Protein backbone atom coordinates (compact mmCIF):
# COMPACT_ATOMS: atom_id res chain seq x y z
CA UNK A 1 0.00 0.00 0.00
CA UNK A 2 1.30 3.44 -0.91
CA UNK A 3 0.46 6.60 0.96
CA UNK A 4 -0.13 10.03 -0.57
CA UNK A 5 -0.23 13.21 1.48
CA UNK A 6 -2.74 15.92 0.50
CA UNK A 7 -2.55 19.44 1.90
CA UNK A 8 -5.28 21.98 1.18
CA UNK A 9 -3.95 25.50 0.63
CA UNK A 10 -5.60 28.78 -0.22
CA UNK A 11 -2.76 30.11 -2.41
CA UNK A 12 -1.18 27.40 -4.57
CA UNK A 13 1.77 29.51 -5.78
CA UNK A 14 2.64 30.60 -2.24
CA UNK A 15 2.39 26.99 -1.04
CA UNK A 16 4.66 25.74 -3.83
CA UNK A 17 7.22 28.40 -2.95
CA UNK A 18 7.01 27.59 0.78
CA UNK A 19 7.46 23.82 0.38
CA UNK A 20 10.36 24.30 -2.07
CA UNK A 21 12.11 26.86 0.14
CA UNK A 22 11.34 25.39 3.57
CA UNK A 23 11.54 21.66 2.85
CA UNK A 24 13.66 21.42 -0.29
CA UNK A 25 10.88 19.68 -2.23
CA UNK A 26 10.58 19.88 -6.02
CA UNK A 27 7.56 20.27 -8.25
CA UNK A 28 6.54 17.02 -9.95
CA UNK A 29 3.35 17.03 -11.98
CA UNK A 30 1.00 19.98 -12.18
CA UNK A 31 -2.77 19.61 -12.33
CA UNK A 32 -3.78 22.90 -13.93
CA UNK A 33 -4.69 25.48 -11.32
CA UNK A 34 -6.09 22.96 -8.83
CA UNK A 35 -3.03 21.12 -7.60
CA UNK A 36 0.62 20.24 -7.79
CA UNK A 37 2.66 17.20 -6.84
CA UNK A 38 5.68 17.91 -4.63
CA UNK A 39 8.50 15.37 -4.64
CA UNK A 40 11.55 14.83 -2.47
CA UNK A 41 10.00 13.30 0.63
CA UNK A 42 9.35 9.61 1.34
CA UNK A 43 5.79 10.12 0.08
CA UNK A 44 4.57 12.54 -2.58
CA UNK A 45 2.82 15.60 -1.18
CA UNK A 46 -0.06 17.04 -3.18
CA UNK A 47 -0.88 20.70 -2.64
CA UNK A 48 -4.55 21.23 -3.47
CA UNK A 49 -6.01 24.68 -4.10
CA UNK A 50 -9.14 25.01 -1.94
CA UNK A 51 -10.68 28.38 -1.16
CA UNK A 52 -11.16 29.47 2.44
CA UNK A 53 -14.78 29.27 3.51
CA UNK A 54 -15.58 26.26 1.32
CA UNK A 55 -16.98 23.09 2.86
CA UNK A 56 -14.34 20.56 3.84
CA UNK A 57 -16.90 17.75 3.56
CA UNK A 58 -20.48 18.03 2.34
CA UNK A 59 -21.91 16.32 5.43
CA UNK A 60 -20.15 18.68 7.88
CA UNK A 61 -20.84 22.32 8.68
CA UNK A 62 -17.09 22.88 9.11
CA UNK A 63 -15.56 25.25 6.56
CA UNK A 64 -11.95 25.50 5.46
CA UNK A 65 -9.99 28.01 7.50
CA UNK A 66 -6.33 28.78 6.97
CA UNK A 67 -5.68 30.33 10.35
CA UNK A 68 -3.67 28.11 12.69
CA UNK A 69 -5.78 25.08 13.52
CA UNK A 70 -5.21 21.80 15.30
CA UNK A 71 -5.84 18.34 13.99
CA UNK A 72 -4.77 15.01 15.47
CA UNK A 73 -3.03 14.19 12.18
CA UNK A 74 0.08 16.09 11.18
CA UNK A 75 3.29 15.57 9.24
CA UNK A 76 6.72 14.91 10.75
CA UNK A 77 9.74 15.62 8.57
CA UNK A 78 12.86 13.71 9.64
CA UNK A 79 15.92 15.93 9.23
CA UNK A 80 19.66 15.62 9.80
CA UNK A 81 20.12 19.10 11.35
CA UNK A 82 17.06 20.33 13.22
CA UNK A 83 18.46 23.79 13.97
CA UNK A 84 19.27 24.50 10.31
CA UNK A 85 15.90 23.06 9.18
CA UNK A 86 13.99 25.23 11.64
CA UNK A 87 15.83 28.37 10.50
CA UNK A 88 15.26 27.52 6.83
CA UNK A 89 11.53 26.98 7.42
CA UNK A 90 11.19 30.18 9.46
CA UNK A 91 12.92 32.12 6.67
CA UNK A 92 10.33 30.66 4.26
CA UNK A 93 7.38 31.77 6.44
CA UNK A 94 6.88 28.97 9.01
CA UNK A 95 6.49 29.53 12.74
CA UNK A 96 8.32 27.66 15.49
CA UNK A 97 5.52 27.07 18.01
CA UNK A 98 7.64 25.80 20.93
CA UNK A 99 11.35 25.66 21.57
CA UNK A 100 13.13 22.64 20.17
CA UNK A 101 12.65 19.81 22.67
CA UNK A 102 15.25 17.14 23.39
CA UNK A 103 14.09 13.64 24.24
CA UNK A 104 15.99 10.40 24.80
CA UNK A 105 15.26 9.41 21.18
CA UNK A 106 16.07 12.78 19.56
CA UNK A 107 14.88 16.34 19.04
CA UNK A 108 11.47 17.69 18.07
CA UNK A 109 10.49 21.12 16.74
CA UNK A 110 6.73 21.86 16.59
CA UNK A 111 6.08 24.17 13.64
CA UNK A 112 3.22 25.64 11.58
CA UNK A 113 3.27 26.43 7.88
CA UNK A 114 1.88 29.74 6.54
CA UNK A 115 -1.47 28.02 5.84
CA UNK A 116 -2.23 27.05 9.45
CA UNK A 117 -1.09 23.42 9.18
CA UNK A 118 1.01 22.01 11.99
CA UNK A 119 4.07 19.89 11.30
CA UNK A 120 7.18 18.88 13.19
CA UNK A 121 10.81 18.49 12.41
CA UNK A 122 12.32 15.38 14.00
CA UNK A 123 16.03 14.68 14.36
CA UNK A 124 16.78 11.20 15.64
CA UNK A 125 19.81 10.55 17.88
CA UNK A 126 21.31 7.26 18.97
CA UNK A 127 18.88 4.47 18.08
CA UNK A 128 15.99 6.89 17.46
CA UNK A 129 12.63 5.56 18.59
CA UNK A 130 14.32 2.26 19.50
CA UNK A 131 15.76 4.15 22.51
CA UNK A 132 12.27 4.06 24.07
CA UNK A 133 10.76 0.93 22.48
CA UNK A 134 9.75 -1.96 24.75
Cβ atoms of 22 and 88 within 8 Å: the answer is yes
Cβ atoms of 94 and 22 within 8 Å: the answer is yes
Percent of the chain at pLDDT exceeding 90: 86
Dump pLDDT digits (tens) for 26-45.
999 999 999 999 999 999 99
The whole model's pTM is what?
Answer: 0.90
Q: Which domains does the chain have, with CATH numbers?
A: 5-131 (3.10.180.10)
Answer yes or no: is pLDDT of 57 > 90: no
Dump pLDDT digits (tens) for 79-93.
999 999 999 999 999
Amino acid sequence: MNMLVNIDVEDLDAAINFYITAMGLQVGRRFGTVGVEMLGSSSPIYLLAKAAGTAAVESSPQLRDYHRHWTPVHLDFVVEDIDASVQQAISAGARLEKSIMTQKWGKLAPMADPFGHGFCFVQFVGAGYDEIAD
